Amino acid sequence: MPSIAPPCLRALLLTAVAAAALSACNRDREPAAPEPAAPGAAAVVTPADAAAPMSFESKTPWADVRLTLPDGLKAQTDLHARLYAEEVRRLRQFTEGAQGELTEAGADTDRPKYEKTIAITVAAETAKLLSLKRVDFDYSGGAHPNTLTDGLLWDKALKRRVGIADLFGKGVDLTILDQALCSAVNAAKRARVPDGASVTLGGKDFSCPRAVDTPFILTPGDTPGKAAGLTFLIGPYQVGPYAEGAYEIAVPAAVFRSLLAVAYSGEFGGRLVKVGDVTPAAAPAAVAQ
């Protein structure tokens, strides 16, 4: 009996040829497919558009939370992604905690819901360093809300955080900086509360903060691309009662320039526009809005 395979095979081949021809005729009417990446080329991912947006917001019956990040963070993709993940995790934990506290047995059903707002801004940037300021407004049902301010210093080339020990070098005696900070704190306190008590290093109730234990940010001056000093961020209760408020104290680089580590001494230059108390007016109210 003759085989039927060859005719079927010929029919299949003719069909394939016709389909290919039709595809070729319509190719100019179809959108071009994206070209594949070159061998060995890495895919480009922009955290601002993918893994790490510039803001986050959530509203529940128990808490309203919000995060804002600065555009100046976009270029530092590692830090951007890390900060976004850390802060969003913190805000979600806050919301979970608020739900637990406001729905627990016997809780006052008329209690207002909680609120937390984290705003991160660029304080200053030099060739090597990016300084960020973090303001955390928190209302958790107490007598009053709290606003805490912190700083983060980032080495752009090494892609890591820089602490005060890195900035000045381990084991460096910072007594001169501590004394300058203490003097500036007392000057600021006298301006706010003329009859208030002064503070000293190692005081009992309230004391002057030591630079090594105090959050700080780089502070720009009159020379672009350089930091003219450091601003220390001193929270409520640290140097006086809560009603006295927080302090932000700017110390010029001239005070500590000789103490800086060689790797970072070139990042400082110029003069501060203002020295001493540079606390923003009504900062907590602005953040709370």
In tens, the pLDDT along 245-264 reads 999 999 999 999 999 999 99
Q: What is the mean pLDDT of residues 87-108?
A: 86
Evaluate whether 154 touches 161 at the Cβ level (below 8 Å). yes
Question: Once rounded to an integer, what is the mean pLDDT over residues 188-213?
Answer: 92
Indicate if the pLDDT at residue 5 is higher than 90.
no
Q: Rounded to an integer, what distance in angstroms lies between the CA atom of residue 266 and that of residue 52?
A: 32
Which 3 state secondary structure label does DSSP give 263? helix
Greater model confidence, 25 or 232: 232
Sheet bearing 160-161, strands edge to edge? 55-59, 63-68, 114-125, 129-139, 146-155, 160-161
The pLDDT, as a whole number, for residue 107 is 58
The pLDDT of residue 37: 32
The residue among 227, 265, 251 whose CA lies nearest residue 125 is 227
How many whole angstroms separate alpha carbon 114 and alpha carbon 94? 9
Q: Tell which residue, 64, 67, 70, has the closest CA to residue 86.
A: 67
Tell me the pairing of strands 63-68 and 114-125: parallel
pLDDT, mean over the chain: 82
Query: How many whole angstroms separate alpha carbon 182 and alpha carbon 176?
Result: 10
Q: How many whole angstroms separate alpha carbon 198 and alpha carbon 27?
A: 82
Mean pLDDT calculated for residue range 20-43: 36
Residue 151: its pLDDT value, please? 98
Predicted confidence at residue 170, as pLDDT, reads 82
Q: How far is CA 280 from the centre of its chain?
A: 18
Q: Is the pLDDT of residue 29 over 90?
A: no
Residue 103 φ then ψ, to 5°: -115, 5
What is the sign of the dihedral through the CA atoms of 168, 174, 176 and 181? positive
CB atoms closer than 10 angstroms to residue 59: 12
- Band of the pLDDT at 128, cuts 50, 70, 90? very high
Q: Please, is 32 exposed, middle or buried when counting C-beta atoms within 10 Å of its C-beta (0-12, 13-18, 19+)?
A: exposed
